[in-house]
Every structure is written in structure tokens, then in C-alpha cells.
Chains A and B, each alone.
Chain A
Amino acid sequence: SQQGEEDPQALSIQEGENATMNCSYKTSINNLQWYRQNSGRGLVHLILIRSNEREKHSGRLRVTLDTSKKSSSLLITASRAADTASYFCATDGISNYQLIWGAGTKLIIKP
């Protein structure tokens, strides 16, 4: 299957710092989404960016999409302890609606 990849696999930063994680994918997409998961719980949608968009903001989140490089980045500014979670990207292909997920980035915010 064509699975996305997140980078890094794990990230540990101090509270207040910015956190950046990346997602790469293999095929052309309609949309790319980012989700957060707290310790074995259900995933929560953060942001959706369409293939014709380059950047999107939501509160402290900034997502960029580079379709030429087939990659996206999620920036969390001014991190908080509550941001500690795993973050996943998901893409849906042009020819079908099967969602392909990355393996996730585990983010730890140290107080």
C-alpha cells in the first residue's frame, strides 16, 4: 500500500518552543489532513488542506503543502504540555477515497 511517512518519528521539546513535523506521500492527492491522538484514544481532526492550497492556519497550527515535493509540514507554535500527543497525516487519492495514513510523530512537550 502507499503509506505516507512522518518525520521525525519522535520529537521532544521544551514548553513554549515551536514543533515542526513533516509528512511525505507517494501519489497525487485531493486533500491532506492532520490529526492528533492522545495515548490510545480516538483521533481528533486538526486541519485539512486541499491540493490547490499551499498554506493554512488554525490557531497555533500552521500547515504547508508542497505538491511538487509530495510533502506537508505541521508547525505548532508556542507549544504547551497539552500538545503532548501523536500526530498523523492522512491523504486521499485522486482515484479513490481510501485514506492512507502515516505512522505518526510522537511529540513530547517538557514542562
Chain B
Amino acid sequence: EAQVTQNPRYLITVTGKKLTVTCSQNMNHEYMSWYRQDPGLGLRQIYYSMNVEVTDKGDVPEGYKVSRKEKRNFPLILESPSPNQTSLYFCASSLWGGDEQYFGPGTRLTVT
């Protein structure tokens, strides 16, 4: 089944404790992206990747890191999480940047 998976689905952590949210797709997509969704603000793009070893900043990259060492994986790293990073995070992939996006189920992160 074609899908985008994210782990974990729910995470509660404390300020400053490094964490990684994994994202994997099985569709051989070139393009992958991370978003955060906050009430009233819609989706905001954090980082995106056009291909392996190619990443670019989105609208809100501060406090986040990504890597694209393999085509299928695009982990999101929070080196020192802060409470303002409490949000719902989505990973998505597509054949190319302007194409239909396939979304993962989301990761609800709470930073206390």
C-alpha cells in the first residue's frame, strides 16, 4: 500500500531534550516536506527536499533540522525543543514539488 508513515504519532517531551520525528514513504517520490499546523494558521512549511542530499528552508525553519540521506526517509530533528514548537506536524511526499502531496497521519508534539 502506498503510504507515508510518521513516528511517533504522539510525543510529550520537555524543553531542551533533543528529539527526532521519522518520516518514510514507499512511493519512490523525489519531493518530501515537513509542515506544522497550528490553530488558525493553516499549514506552514518547515523544510522541503527536492531529492537526496537537497534540502531547502520553508517558511518556519528556525529550531528545526532535516536530512535526506536516502530517498525514502526525511527525518525532522528538534535539537533543543521549546514550548512554541508544540504543534501538529505532518510529513508529505510527492513525485515532484508541484504535484499531488501524500500526507502522513501526523505527529502531535507537546513540549513542556
Contact = CB atoms under 8 A, between A and B. Distances in A.
A111 interface: no
Contacts of A71: none
A97 B98 contact: yes
Contact of B44 (A35, A97, A101): A101
B42 A88 contact: yes
Residue of B58, B98, B100, B108 ringed by the most chain A CB atoms within 10 A: B98
Nearest to B35: A101
Interface in B9-55: 31, 33, 35, 40-45, 48, 50
Given A43-B90, A103-B40, A103-B42, A97 B101 contact: no
Contacts of A98: 45, 48, 56, 58-59, 97
Interface string B76-112: 0000000000001010100011111111111010000
Interface residues of A, number: 25
Interface string A3-41: 100000000000000000000000000110101000011
27 contacts: A1-B59, A40-B106, A40-B108, A41-B105, A42-B4, A42-B90, A42-B104, A42-B106, A44-B103, A45-B101, A88-B42, A96-B56, A96-B97, A97-B31, A97-B96, A97-B97, A97-B98, A98-B58, A98-B97, A99-B33, A99-B97, A99-B98, A100-B45, A101-B35, A101-B43, A102-B42, A104-B42
